[in-house]
Amino acid sequence: MNSERPEYGFAALALAFVTGGFIGATLGVLFAPRPGVETRERIREQAGEACERLRETADGLRERAEELKEAGREKFSDVQGKVQESVEKIKEKVSVKQEKGEEPEV
């Protein structure tokens, strides 16, 4: 797994888990000795449950993506502020050297 993007590993694992559970449950119901009407009703119920689990997983992933987006914005803002401070300090030093008639260092 890529340590810089752990959300992809989690998303793939969650999707594989939900999909595998749905497929396994469906096959189990299909091969169980029950009448057709009862089997179809169980499939419908289990499909509804699988959809709900998938929605919950998607909601969790959406929340995690929002958290990561906000953390990225904060980090960008911090770095941008530090760069601005550095630029201002350099401008100040250059200005002082120019006032003294010295050649600024590059």
Q: Please, are residues 48 and 40 in contact by the beta-carbon 8 Å criterion?
A: no
For 43-101, the pLDDT digits (tens) are 889 889 988 988 998 999 999 999 999 999 999 999 999 999 999 999 998 888 888 87
Task: Give the CA radius of gyration of the chain.
Answer: 29
User: Structure tokens of 47?
Assistant: 């499909």
pLDDT score, position 74: 94
CA distance 106 to 100: 16
